[in-house]
Each structure stands twice: as structure tokens, then as C-alpha cells.
Structure 1
Amino acid sequence: MLKQQLRAISSLLSSITLIGICVGMTSTLLSLRATIENFGTLTTGIIMSAYFIGFLFGATRAPKDIRRVGYIRAFGGLAALAAASILIQAIWVEPTVWFIMRFITGFAISAIFVIVESWLNTMADNKNRGTLLSIYLVLIYAGLIAGQLLLGVADPSGFMAFALVALLINLALIPILISVTVEPTTHEAKKVPIRSLLKLVPLGIVNAFIMQACYSMFYGIGPMYAIYIGLSITQVSLFMASFIFGGMVAQAPIGLLSDRFDRRVIMSVCAGLGSVMALILAQLDASIIWLIYLCVALFGACVMPLYSLGMAHTNDYLEKDQMIGATGAIIKVGGIGSIIGAPAVAALMQFGAVDYFFLLIMSLTLTVCLYSLYRVTRRARAEDQIGSSYAMLGPAQTSDELLTSLVDEYEYQVEQYTEEQEAAENNSDDTPKSGSPS
């Protein structure tokens, strides 16, 4: 059964692997090119944050548009839009243009993940959904690593690297456009406001915000820092690939541990070890390159599973019908962290704090470590953690159901406000007016 489903979605998995290569290659490429063009650290951080702004905008608006035009046609249009935005950045090397195009890229990529993950959920059943999604995430991580390695053989100062990204995006169109399958459908999810989650499971919200900010810092500004400490372009690509590889290898083992022990303790240990690795990395330079690769891989192994751990911890305290809506709310909070992360660390580095790049990240991971321990003292462990088992989440976990819940949250706020207004009007009508009989 599983083999048949894998054959049925092989074209889909091929397409998303190519997209993963492009996503992995683009952020590092733009960071390096911005360094070459002397954009400045702060300007680069703002440009890189545009991707996450676009990602959030796409997460909010794209689901409705996709349902209107269909998944397959939407995939083709969005991939073409992403390819065009990359090529425009190669033609017009100017910060304002790059900010706009980076926003468009984020919008297109977020909607593409909507299509792919919805497709996977439609093809899978309850017996093998976890297996299929794990295969999908491994391919995503493999694509991200391959993207970093490809950048090592493409000169970021020229047009060729940008053209290669656009070419791969266009090649990703072919498998999915020639495939024949039923388009996925969506289902209603129970709305879960962010403020409710903050009261019920504050660690999940805090962890999502901080860790996505850390990921944004590393992906957006990490290549610039690597250049600053003396790494070559090829070494920078290996530096970034090591981080992703460490995270990919550690996801499953740490996830299994979190299913057996209190997740908050596992989160604290991972964040604490991540802080130690960040402290070590802050002391290293290009003279000990093998140690840098090893430490950054261990750093990735510690911090990359934290987002998934936080999501699973949140689900431990929720009802089944709340999980989809809650995940959407956490994605939104994480997206805000991503938007703030890169510009914040870039601003500090702009004013002479370049040497403190990893120390800044260390302060955030240490915050997660200490807050996780604090929550252990404030609340008992979820009973057998039966609410939800750990599931690996990729760097862009945006399935249609999850993204639709973001739209639902906004609509929920409007409904609540409308109900309150109507109640106030009814109370006003029922109140006896002066001079009228009671």
C-alpha cells in the first residue's frame, strides 16, 4: 500500500525536492550577494525579513485564491512568479527592488507548500500519514542541503547562480503538471485564538516566537557572519549545510525521547546544549574550519528540533479538534518572530556587534532553556502526553488546513466583535427609556 502511494506521489515529491533546493540556495545566495554589493548588515536583515512577511501574507490570503483557481494551476502560476522574482533580483541589484521581490518569493513559496502538503494529506491515510510526511520532510531537508552545496560551485557575484535557481523552479513545474490525481479538499477546523493559547500553553507560544527568530537570524545573517570570520564562498555553503544536516539527523531521535519523557525537560536540555554550542562557535574563526563544521552541525542538531518539540508540547494540552487551529496560531506567532529576528540581529551587528552574532543567538536559546525549566515547576506534565505525539516539522510547515486556520482566526475576531456589538445594542433596546413605563 505504501509503495503504491509513494509511486502515486513520486512526481509531487520530485517537485518539492527541487523547490527545497531553491529555498536552501536562495537565502544564502542573497545574503552573500548583499555582502558583495555592500548593502550593509541592517539593510540585508530587512531584505531577508521580507521573505517572512510575504510568507505570512501568503499564508493568510493564498488558501482562498487556491480554492478559487484550483491547486494545479495555482502551483504553476506561483512557481512562475517565484522564478521571475529571483531573476529580477539578478537584473536589478537594488535594496528596494530586492525587498519587494523577496516578499513575492515568500508569498509564492508559502502557497506552494500549501498545495504540496494538502496533496500529501489527501493521498495518505491514518496508517501511513506519519511515514509519508517524514519522507517529505527528509526530502525537504535534503533539498536545503543540496542547495547550499550547489551554491559552493556557483559564483554569487554573477548572474549564473540566480539563473540556476530560476531554472530549478521551472523544472519543478514539470513533474506536478504532468501528474494525474485528485485535487485535495479542505475541512473545517476549530478556531483557537492566540491569546487563549498564551494562557493555556505559554511555553508553546514563547518557544515558537524565539526559535523562529533564531532560525531567521541564522539563515539571513549567518552567511554574512561566516564571511566576516574569514570563510570562503565554498566554506560558507558547507557551514550552512552542516547546520541543516545536524538538524535533519537529530529530529527523529530527539522526537522519540520527547515522547517518553517530559517534553519540557527535553526542550530545556536541547536549548541549553544549543547555548553551549553557540558560545563555542562565538570563539572560533576560519583557522579551525573542521571544528566550525562540527560545532555548527551540533548546534543545528540541538536547536532545529525545538520548534517541533514546542508544537508537540502545545498539542499535549489541547483537545483533538483544537490542534489544527492551534498549530495555525503558533505558525503565525513564529512568523512574527521570523520577521523580527533577522533585522534585529542585523541592527545590532551594524553598530559593531558582529563578533556577538552567536552570543545573541545564545541569549535567546538560553531564554528557552530557562523558561522551559520554569514551566516544569509551574505545571504537571501532560498525562502520558496523549494529546499528540512528536512530529517533525520542516522549515515551512504550512499545510492548507493549518494556513486556513490563520484566516479563520481573523474571521473569529470579527465574529466576536460583531456579537459583542449586537449584544450591546440588544441591551440598549431592552433598557427602559426615561419617562416610559417600566
Structure 2
Amino acid sequence: MARLQEDLYGVLTGDDEGRVCRDIPEAACDEQPGNFSAHLFSLALTKIGDGLSDPKIILAWLLQALGAPAFMAGFLVPIREAGALLPQLFIAAYIRSLRRRKFVWAAGSAVQGAAVLGMGVSGLFLKGAWAGISILVLLAVFALARSACSVAYKDVLGKTVTKSARGTVTGTANSLAAGAVLLFGVALASGFLERSFTAVLGALFLAGLLWLTAAITFLRLKEVPGASEGGRNAFDVALSQIGLLKSDAPLRQFILARAFLMASALSPPFLLMLAPEEGETFGALGAFISASALAGFLSSYVWGRLSDRSSRKVLFLAGLLTALSLGLAYAAHTYGHVLGDTGFLLPFWLFVLMIAHQGVRLGRSTHIVDMANEETRAAYTALSNTIIGLLLAAGGVFGLLAAIAGPAAVVLIFALMGAAGALSALRMKEVQRD
């Protein structure tokens, strides 16, 4: 096993026996191959689990299939995103007070796995509103555990993997997961995998087991005790720096653009609601899964490279793609009697939308890092995350609006938000320019 870990580490990082370790404790240097492998397989397993239980697609489809009220699907992404972001603002200081943080990640992964298994059980035994309530509550538990994992992982990665290999381990895990989820989507769309409700629930149960396996794998990390003092909660930082909203115009413009561009994250469940209820629903689900996985696989590297040149232009283009995909989906649904049957194009619109979403994610993270300096970076990040987290938490109102006016109206609102986000990005500062 040790030899296999050495070979895997050497192939993926280009390192040799005389490795030089950067920015990690000296005691962790000899453990690089084993720690690299533990990170790689733990991350890959959880990211495959993410794809097999994606709230934007899998859980949104499941709620529809179980007959849950339509407005509940509108709460999936807000609960998942805000639930994973907002708690970080309060728990970061406590987690960083622990000398070994791998146990936090492992426990959080186990809780996520148990929550996803619970969703599968809900799908087996519950219907209608009770199924929807159960899945939303379990998703909230999942998000809270993920929040703890997110805080702990950054510190563990920084202590156990050398600086020159961190991007490699996370990028390789992302690629492996995207490939696996893409295969699942293609198998479901083509009929190679039995098109049944049981197959979808089976994917949820598999996802839960993957998280539990990842928790066990992560415990194999050799983590040396680290510093445990000096941490501050981001919420405290945000409160102390609230005045930046008035005095710092570039930050204010960035937060405005980021708020409008939340449309790329919030809209997929409503796009799925536009799909015809009759016909090959399982084939359509497979097409949606494939489109989402393929978009992430193909576009992440390109967006990342473009962001290094101009994150402002990346956010502008991502906003345009968001507006275009959602606007055309709305037009096709609303004027289908004139245009003919265009329901088969919905997976393509989702594909374009998820490409846009990858651009939003990479563009905004690159922009705020390059916009800030060493003195302002913590304040910028804390303040923007706090505001966006609160806005995401309020995003469930779109589900209520869909119940009143229909999902097409909400899709149109998100298309307009994407256009507004693109225009807001144009007004942002070009922070990559010397």
C-alpha cells in the first residue's frame, strides 16, 4: 500500500523521493504520499456523493416525484447554500482552537452521510408534504455538518499537504467525481441503468455510504497538532467592518453584482419544474445530471484561466450566460404553442446555466482575493459572505412565488437578475490590471 501511495503521489505531482515540502510542518513532510492519498480519495468520495444527491437536480426531482408542494423545491438551494455558509461565520474560531481538526471533518462527513441516507429512507416511506418536510430538515442538518467540514478542511489541507500539491489533489478529486457522476447521468438517460424510482433512491443511499467511507478514510491522515490561538469569527469581523459598505465603493459594487448573480445557483430547481410531467421523466433526469456534470468538467479550468486575466469580465460573461439560458428557457416554455415542442432543449439550457454558475463561482472568488490586500482581505471576505449568506437564507421566497405565479415567472425573474449581475460586473474595478 505504501508503495502504491508513493507511485500515485509521484505520478500526480511530478515529485520524487527527494521531495521538498513547502508551508507545512516538517514532521508532516515524510507523510506526504499517505496524506495525499487520504485527501484524494476522501474528497473524491464526497464529491461523487454531492453529484448523486445534488439539491439543484436530484432532490428537486425527488420532491416532485414524491408529490411534495411545489414551493418546497424553492427552499432546497437556500437551505443548502446558506446553511453551509452562515454557520461558518460563527464556528470558525472554535474549530481553529482545536489542535487536530481532522476529527471535525470526519465527524461532519459522517453526519452528512447519515443525513443523505435519511433522505433515501424518507423517499421510501413518506409522500407529499411530509416527505418534503423530512428532506428539507435533513438537508438543513447536512448543511450544518458541511459548514463545519468546510472550516476544518482548509486548515487540515494547509497542515498535511505541501503548497505545491494542494491544487493537484483538489483538482484531481473534482475530475474523478465529475467523471463518475457523468457516467451515472448517461447510464440513466440512455436506459443502461434501469429507469426507476428505486434507481434514484439507490443513488442517494450510495451517496450516503460514500460520505461514511470518506469519514473513515480521512481519519487515516497523519495530522500534527497545530496552532490553536488567535482565531476570530468572521461575523465579528463583519460587524466591526460594516462601515466599509459606505466608504468602499469597489466592495459595494462587488457585493451588488454577487447578489444578482445568485440567480445561477438558485434557478436550477425552477428550470427543472418547466419540464413536461409526462413522458420519459427518468431519461430527462439523467440528461439533467449529465448536463450539470459535463458543464463543471469542461468549464472550470477555462473560467479559472480567464479569471486570472480579468475576473470582472468573467462575471460579466457568466451573468450574460445566466440571462441567456434562463431567458430562452422561459420563452420556449411560455410560447411553446408558437415555437413547437422545445422541452427537449431544457437539459441544454441547464448545461449553459451550469457553465455560467462555474464562472460565477470562480470569478467571484478570484475577484475578491485580487481586489483586497493583506490588511483588507479578511474584512472583505467576512462582510461579503455575511451579506450573501443572509440573502441566500431569504431565497426561499422564490419557492413561495413559484407556488403563486408559477415556476416560469420565477425563471424570468432570475433571467433578469442575471442580466443585472452582468451590468453590475461591468461597473466593477479591473483588479487584475497592474
Common fold by TM > 0.5: yes
Contact 2:34-2:221 at 8 Å conserved across structures: no
Mapped to 2, the partners of 1:129 and 1:52 lie a distance apart of 24
- Letter matched to residue 81 of structure 2: F
Mapped to 1, the partners of 2:70 and 2:89 lie a distance apart of 29
- Letter matched to residue 358 of structure 1: V
Equivalences for residues 73-84 of structure 1 within 5 A? 73-84=103-114
Offset of residue 196 of structure 1: 1.5
Mapped to 2, the partners of 1:266 and 1:207 lie a distance apart of 12
- Letter matched to residue 24 of structure 1: G
Contact 1:217-1:345 at 8 Å conserved across structures: no
Equivalences for residues 294-373 of structure 1 within 5 A? 294-341=348-395, 343-373=396-426
Which of these residues, 186, 192, 216, is aligned with residue 266 of structure 2? 216
Which of these residues, 190, 195, 213, is aligned with residue 171 of structure 1? 213
Q: Secondary structure at the match of 1:226?
A: coil
When normalised by structure 2's length, the TM-score is 0.73
Offset of residue 61 of structure 1: 4.5
Unaligned residue ranges in structure 1 (runs of 5+): 387-438
Contact 2:316-2:423 at 8 Å conserved across structures: yes
Which position in structure 2 is the counterpart of 1:421? Answer: none
Offset of residue 308 of structure 1: 2.4
Offset of residue 48 of structure 1: 4.9
When normalised by structure 1's length, the TM-score is 0.73
Which position in structure 1 is the counterpart of 2:313? Answer: 265
Mapped to 2, the partners of 1:284 and 1:7 lie a distance apart of 52
Deviations 1:296-335 (Å, cap 9, x if unpaired)? 3233223321232123223333212432442343333333
Which position in structure 1 is the counterpart of 2:27? Answer: none
Contact 2:185-2:287 at 8 Å conserved across structures: yes
Mapped to 2, the partners of 1:69 and 1:234 lie a distance apart of 48
Equivalences for residues 147-158 of structure 1 within 5 A? 153=193, 155-156=196-197
| CA shift in 2, pair 1:178/1:315, >3 Å | closer
Equivalences for residues 9-48 of structure 1 within 5 A? 9-26=36-53, 27=55, 28-46=57-75, 48=77
1:254 correspondence with 2:303: yes
Offset of residue 137 of structure 1: 4.6
Which position in structure 2 is the counterpart of 1:237? Answer: 286
Equivalences for residues 32-181 of structure 1 within 5 A? 32-46=61-75, 48-63=77-92, 64-65=94-95, 67-68=97-98, 70-92=100-122, 93=126, 94=130, 95-139=132-176, 141-142=178-179, 145=182, 153=193, 155-156=196-197, 160-181=202-223
Q: Which moved more, 1:183-192 or 1:242-251?
A: 183-192
Offset of residue 215 of structure 1: 0.4
Q: Secondary structure at the match of 1:249?
A: helix
Q: Secondary structure at the match of 1:180?
A: coil
Provide the identity percentage: 16
Offset of residue 362 of structure 1: 0.9
Mapped to 2, the partners of 1:301 and 1:255 lie a distance apart of 12
- Letter matched to residue 121 of structure 1: G
Contact 1:22-1:168 at 8 Å conserved across structures: yes
Mapped to 2, the partners of 1:118 and 1:139 lie a distance apart of 23
Contact 1:54-1:103 at 8 Å conserved across structures: yes
**How many residues matched?**
378
Contact 2:319-2:421 at 8 Å conserved across structures: yes
Superposed CA RMSD in Å reads 3.5
| CA shift in 2, pair 1:39/1:361, >3 Å | same
For the pair shown, which has the larger CA radius of gyration, 1 or 2? Answer: 1
